[in-house]
């Protein structure tokens, strides 16, 4: 029996389905930041009842992907640059640690997987599909985080990256950002492949810092 296989087959419930759909919608920028979500409207669009929708909204609220103000209802939070900075700082803390640990303990198969995901990002980077870029980049990180040996680190990181997906989409479409991002990510992979913890940490830190700078640039240019 494999070490970590969950035998329980969990039927997908309406609420899970709804959370996933809405999360994806938020990621892809379907809703404007600051815009309100009307329950009745979402219900008819999703074809579900209001109690089910509201449960899903509570889940998303706890993930900080939406805000719910009493008597005003749910809305997409307008992420301030101040909060975004805070998120990038914590992301740096976690991602650097994960990359370092990953360099020491990743398996050959997972390393190949990581290289594959880098190729996927490379392909996306040469296209103009910024959603694809964000998605493949997310795959890349998730492999690193999944191999750092700490599931909680992984989970927290995922939550943080989700919240800045808005910025990431925008900064990816910045002139040349996808390409330099690719170079930084390649450096991380090389360090991990070499089993060099310190180099992995350093490359990872560089990458996050540059991503943050790019996000800032994209924000200054647009707002």
Partner DNA sequence: GTCAAGAGGATTGTCAGACAATCTTCATAT
Partner DNA sequence: ATATGAAGATTGTCTGACAATCCTCTTGAC
Residues that bind a copy of itself (CB under 8 A): 8, 10-13, 15-16, 51, 54-56, 58-59, 61-63, 69-71, 83, 86-87, 89-90, 93-94, 97, 150-153, 156, 160
Of residues 13 and 128, the one with the C-beta less far from DNA: 13
> Applying CB under 7 A, which of residues 15, 130, 136, 165 lies at the interface with DNA?
15
CA 200/CA 126 separation, integer angstroms: 25
48-57 LR contacts (CB < 8 Å, sep 24+):
48/14, 48/18, 52/14, 52/15, 52/18, 53/18, 55/15, 56/15, 56/18, 56/19, 56/22, 57/22
Say if CB 37 and CB 73 are below 8 A apart. Answer: yes
Token pair 């749910």: residue: 74
Residue 119: name its binding partner from DNA, a copy of itself, none (Cβ under 5 to 8 Å by kind).
Answer: none
Binding mask 141-180 for DNA (x = CB under 7 A): ----------------------------------------
Provide, rounded to whole angstroms, the least separation between the CB of residue 21 and a copy of itself: 16
Provide, rounded to whole angstroms, the least separation between the CB of residue 35 and DNA: 11
Binding site for DNA (CB under 7 A): 11, 13-15, 36-41, 47-52, 54, 68-74
């Amino acid at each position: 029996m494999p070490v970590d296989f969950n035998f329980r087959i969990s039927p997908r419930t309406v609420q899970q389905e709804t959370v996933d759909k809405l999360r994806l919608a938020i990621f892809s920028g379907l809703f404007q930041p600051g815009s309100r979500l009307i329950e009745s409207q979402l219900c008819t669009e999703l074809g579900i009842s209001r109690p089910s929708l509201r449960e899903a909204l509570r889940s998303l609220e706890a993930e900080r992907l939406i805000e719910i103000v009493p008597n005003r209802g749910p809305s997409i939070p307008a992420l301030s640059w101040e909060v975004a900075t805070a998120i990038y700082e914590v992301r740096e803390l976690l991602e650097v640690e994960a990359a370092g640990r990953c360099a020491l303990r990743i398996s050959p198969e997972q390393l190949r997987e990581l290289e594959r995901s880098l190729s996927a990002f490379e392909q996306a980077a040469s296209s103009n599909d910024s959603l694809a870029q964000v998605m493949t980049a997310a795959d890349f990180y998730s492999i690193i985080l999944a191999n750092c040996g700490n599931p909680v680190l992984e989970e927290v990181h995922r939550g943080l990256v989700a919240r800045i997906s808005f910025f990431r989409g925008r900064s990816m479409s910045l002139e040349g950002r996808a390409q330099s991002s690719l170079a930084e990510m390649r450096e991380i992979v090389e360090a991990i492949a070499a089993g060099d913890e310190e180099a992995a940490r350093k490359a990872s830190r560089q990458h996050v810092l540059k991503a943050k700078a790019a996000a800032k640039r994209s924000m200054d240019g647009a707002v």
